[in-house]
Amino acid sequence: MNAKRAADRGIQVGMLPKGRLNKITDVPGVRVGHATIRDARHHTGVTVVLPCGDNMFKSKLTAASFVLNGFGKTQGLVQVDELGTLETPIALTNTLNVGIVHDAMVSYMAARCREDRVEMHSINPVVGECNDATLNAIEDRPVTAAHVMQAIADAVEDFDEGDVGAGAGTVCHGLKGGIGSASRQLMIAGKTYTLGVLVQSNHGCLEELTVCGRRLGEEILARRKAAPREEPNDRGSIMMIVATDLPVSDRQLRRILKRCSVGLARCGSYFGHGSGDVMIGFTTANRMPHGGMHRVLTQQVVTEHSLELAFRAIAEATQEAVLNSLCCADDVTAENGEVVEAIGRYL
């Protein structure tokens, strides 16, 4: 796996300080795991974001989502938006494997609740997807429950990026995309907080690819001696998972999530008709107990003015996460012999 991230290639994104790993897992307690499937017909897999180590159904996380363009098949967002909570890890996979991954997440949480002696009669797994049919025989649906359990078991802080897990078969701005991540640190009222982003990048068109102001897509087309299409096609999808330990309400979190779009735009996305641009976020700061019949909860939240720094941070982190998904990927060859090139050869 190509370990050269954007910063390793001399690409500097923004001015805010980064976390220790510059990944979503810089938020304390967050881990990420992959299960990757690679063979002659398949380049696909599953990636799971674990927000915490304890039972999320017993103690739910404040959460929100924002769908910029809804060309997607994500499960679980209706309840997230209604209740403002997250009660399972977040899984990412390909479009036709959403149902299988959802079922596996139900089994995982049911077993976890039995172990913890927590009564569970309903559960809301959150599963996102991108269509990786360019490089993957997606109709075979090779991802199984065992792959989901493997990703959960293998979850770590310093996880791989690029064409791994749910990013194994994705294409971003006409080049090999995948999983990418970045983080930023915020100082508010004398305390340091962290905000991290993980993307599954499968969106954009080559003509519009921009790397920190450099019109790299146009340069690549010139080197290939190919003319830009009269009508560029920004399609595919991108899943953006946001984690933070900033004490915010679900409404405030949704405001933050919307600014992921700034990072995408800086890379050249214009959110085309066929692009599903989905943002899902959680904070580890405000937990909600399961049940809570006739109870009053007291929570801390930052002021609205304090969100200004978070807006800037999410834009920077999303931009760098997309670039990391590109920079960490290698060339991948489809079953028909088509090669999707990595960005590294052009930087």
Q: Which of 237, 261, 269, 325 is catalytic?
A: 237
**Sign, CA torsion 339/343/345/346:** positive
Q: Which of 65, 183, 201, 275 is catalytic?
A: 275
Decide if 140 is catalytic: no
**CA–CA distance, 34 with 18 (Å, rounded to integer):** 23
Q: Are 140 and 98 in contact (CB under 8 A)?
A: no
Decide if 330 is catalytic: no
Phi, psi of 80 (to 5 degrees): -55, -45
Decide if 26 is catalytic: no
Q: Which of 160, 163, 250, 277 is catalytic?
A: 277
Task: Give the angle 338-342-345 at the CA atoms, nearest 5°.
Answer: 115
Q: What is the per-residue burial (b if ≥16 Cβ within 10 Å, else e) of 306-327? A: bbebbebbbbbbbbbbbbbbbb
The structure tokens 């002021």 sit at 303
Q: Are 269 and 323 in contact (CB under 8 A)?
A: no
- Residues that are catalytic: 237, 275, 277
